[in-house]
Amino acid sequence: MKSFPRFCLLLIVSAIAFSSSFAQETFKNPAMEQESEFDRAFARAHALAREGNIEEAIREFRKAAGLKNGQCPECFRFIGQVYFQAAKYKEAAAAFRQALALKTDKEADTNNALGVALYQQNDKKLYEEAVAAFRRAIELSGNRLPRVHYNLGYALIKMGSEEEGVAELKKYLEIAPSAMDASQVRAVIANPKLAFETLPVEFRVKSIAGDELSLEKFKGKVVLLDFWATWCGPCMRDMPEVKRIWKKYSADQFIILGINMDTNERAMRAYLEKEGIEWPQYFDGLGWNNKVASLYDVHSIPHTILIDHEGIVRAVGLRGGSLSGKVGDLLKKIPKASANK
């Protein structure tokens, strides 16, 4: 149960998570009344990251950092978040370390993010550093970031300190008893071995057709969460392949749940009708504040999360042929008795 950067982090999905909001955060430079070259580079980097142009976004953030002679902790913090979204955890950890070395004003959040990036590398030699980062985040934040107890709990269990890890998970539930993932955390407390799986964050919402959408409802099927928007160029380029995947597998134990991040409902509905898209869609008009996207800390789109019939996350960020092939592989693993239900 790694979690998504919440990703997500989705650690992956239901577990270790960022507590800062990448999509909504803006850089404020009170020393400058007018927009500077730095401000423009920083704004371009944000826009590119939101559109899923990972390499270009990182390049622009580095350009912005260079304009500050490297003294830009915010730049390195966002570079870390972009790398994390791209599942480049080693690079993400390096960027978060740079941000911390420059004395970021979001030290607690950045320590938490560093811990998650280290944890995600699945290297036993890094768990100790991850635990230290989480403890530092707790020390700095008090109870402002209850999810760090969650992250620390999983890291301790993976490190072999099961009793300490369970204690941290119990502390998380004491602080946040109504958390969306409370039932999953209780399951791990009862059976710490589940901490070694990646479990998604549960949600319960209504589709644009008025039907209930939840992971529990589709348990037993392979579920693809597809985060997209009509204004997203890469999403539009990917959609034909998503449609091919639906056409190929929709007769099997497979469902796509579209998580639309538009703010214009008319544009979204017009596109769905024009393209003949039939799979369920969730839309709340909140854009980057979309309820489900926020649960998974989705900071750039298109983005996909693939969940198997047992409710375990098996892939994040796959697109095109790789996504189609993985869906087919997971469908083959469904027991025949279950597939015939």
What pTM, to 2 d.p., does this model score?
A: 0.61
Which CATH number do you get for residue 330? 3.40.30.10
Which CATH number do you get for residue 44? 1.25.40.10
User: Of the segments 4-13, 35-44, 324-333, which one has the largest average pLDDT value?
Assistant: 324-333
Asked if 148 and 137 touch (Cβ cutoff 8 Å), the reply is yes
Lowest-confidence range among 49-58, 212-221, 239-248? 49-58
Instruction: Look at residues 196, 219, 251 and tell me which one is the last residue of a structural domain.
Output: 196
Full domain range(s) for residue 268: 204-339
The secondary structure of residue 35, as a DSSP letter, is -
Calpha distance 287→264 (Å, rounded): 9
pLDDT at 116: 96
pLDDT at 21: 39
Examine the domain organization and report whether 178 and 292 are in the same domain: no
Give me the residue label for tokens 């019939």.
309
Exposed e or buried b per residue across 106-117, where buried means at least 16 C-beta atoms within 10 angstroms of its C-beta = bbbbbbbbbbbb
Asked if 145 and 120 touch (Cβ cutoff 8 Å), the reply is no
**Does any domain span residue 191?**
yes
**Does any domain span residue 63?**
yes
What ranges make up the beta strands (E) of the chain? 204-206, 212-214, 222-228, 254-260, 281-283, 303-307, 313-316
Examine the domain organization and report whether 244 and 333 are in the same domain: yes
Examine the domain organization and report whether 307 and 327 are in the same domain: yes
pLDDT of residue 7 exceeding 50, the answer is no
Examine the domain organization and report whether 154 and 241 are in the same domain: no
Calpha distance 7→188 (Å, rounded): 18
**Does any domain span residue 28?**
no
pLDDT at 31: 45
Instruction: Look at residues 196, 219, 250 and tell me which one is the last residue of a structural domain.
Output: 196
Examine the domain organization and report whether 222 and 295 are in the same domain: yes
pLDDT of residue 26 exceeding 50, the answer is no
Give me the residue label for tokens 């999983």.
154
**Does any domain span residue 123?**
yes
Measured CA angle at 82 (ends 271, 55), to 5 deg: 80
The four Cα atoms 177, 183, 188, 191 give a dihedral, to 10 degrees, of: 120
The secondary structure of residue 317, as a DSSP letter, is S
Confidence band of 340 (pLDDT split at 50, 70, 90)? low
Examine the domain organization and report whether 44 and 174 are in the same domain: yes
In 3D, which of 18, 22, 30, 6 has the Cα closest to residue 299? Answer: 22
User: pLDDT of 276-330, one tens digit each?
Assistant: 999 999 999 999 999 999 988 898 899 999 999 988 899 999 998 999 999 999 9
Examine the domain organization and report whether 146 and 252 are in the same domain: no
Residues sharing a CB contact under 8 Å with residue 161, sequence separation 6 or more, in sequence order: none
Examine the domain organization and report whether 128 and 146 are in the same domain: yes
Calpha distance 259→304 (Å, rounded): 10
**Does any domain span residue 302?**
yes
Instruction: Look at residues 196, 224, 239 and tell me which one is the last residue of a structural domain.
Output: 196
Examine the domain organization and report whether 175 and 225 are in the same domain: no
In this prediction, residues 147-169 reach a mean pLDDT of: 95
Examine the domain organization and report whether 220 and 113 are in the same domain: no
**Does any domain span residue 19?**
no
**Does any domain span residue 31?**
no
**Does any domain span residue 21?**
no
pLDDT at 209: 97
Give me the residue label for tokens 């911390």.
100
Lowest-confidence range among 135-139, 307-311, 333-337? 333-337
Examine the domain organization and report whether 189 and 77 are in the same domain: yes
Number of domains in the chain: 2
Calpha distance 18→114 (Å, rounded): 10
Helix (H) or strand (E) holding 283: strand 281-283
Examine the domain organization and report whether 134 and 226 are in the same domain: no
Structure tokens at 268: 């979204």
In 3D, which of 86, 55, 56, 67 has the Cα closest to residue 27? Answer: 67
